[in-house]
Amino acid sequence: MKASVFSIYMSNICNDVVAAQHACVSKYLPADWEFHQYLHSPQQFEIRHHAAAISRCIQESINDVIILLDIDCIPLTRNAFQFLSWAAHRGDLVGAVQRANHINNNEHLYVGPFCMAFSKKKYIEVGSPSFNETSRGDCGEELTYRWQENGEVVRFLWPSAIEQPTWDLIAGKKFGYGTTYDGFFYHSFCSRDRTTRERFLNKCRSILNQKEGAFLSCVQSQLSY
């Protein structure tokens, strides 16, 4: 099953981060898939710019299965994309578990759009929910509500390693800067900041160094060493 992978970022993201993510995604991307890093320049007075950019990517996707990644989220294994595609093809909403701690919504868990996959057909069937923040959820959280309310499967990837536990998820479990989800994906969080940017670039170098020969030599020139 082919898929379209989209990664949205803005001009406050360092070019090194963009290049590093592209190299890591390219390492594990199936040959017949599409990958687009989408530089979004918000229109004047456009407040919910991230949601608007996601909606545009969904509209432009030529494949039914859509995968969303933050610019500082990368796959860690060749099976990572295949798992998301398999689950999305079934009609599931699948991806990294998230909780919006700044919203009083009974500690609702949802699939964060920093690592999310779904079928475009199923998305339309459940009413094409907006990615805008709402009174009951953060960006993209409405999809999880809509999938749940329609009796559809929501499939979470859970933190399996956390470099800096920061935010509450469930009792006794947190997520934070440098979180690995079920060994499939790594999310740095807040890569616009210098400290977290270096954390992300170091992780990317580690991933790329696991590959020998021509691939490594062709991407090293894109990164700052």
Q: Packing angle between helix 194-208 and helix 15-28, nearest 10 degrees? A: 30
pLDDT per position in the chain (225 positions), as tens? 799 999 999 888 999 999 999 999 999 999 999 999 998 876 654 556 788 899 999 999 999 999 999 999 999 999 999 999 999 999 999 999 999 988 989 899 999 999 999 999 999 999 999 999 999 999 999 999 999 999 999 999 999 999 999 999 999 899 999 999 999 999 999 877 777 889 999 999 999 998 544 334 434 443 443
**CB-count burial class (<10 Å; 0-12, 13-18, 19+) for 87:** buried
Domain covering 3-220, topology: Spore Coat Polysaccharide Biosynthesis Protein SpsA; Chain A (3.90.550)
- Decide: helix, strand or coil at residue 187: strand
List the domain boundaries for the chain. 3-220
**Full-model pTM:** 0.89
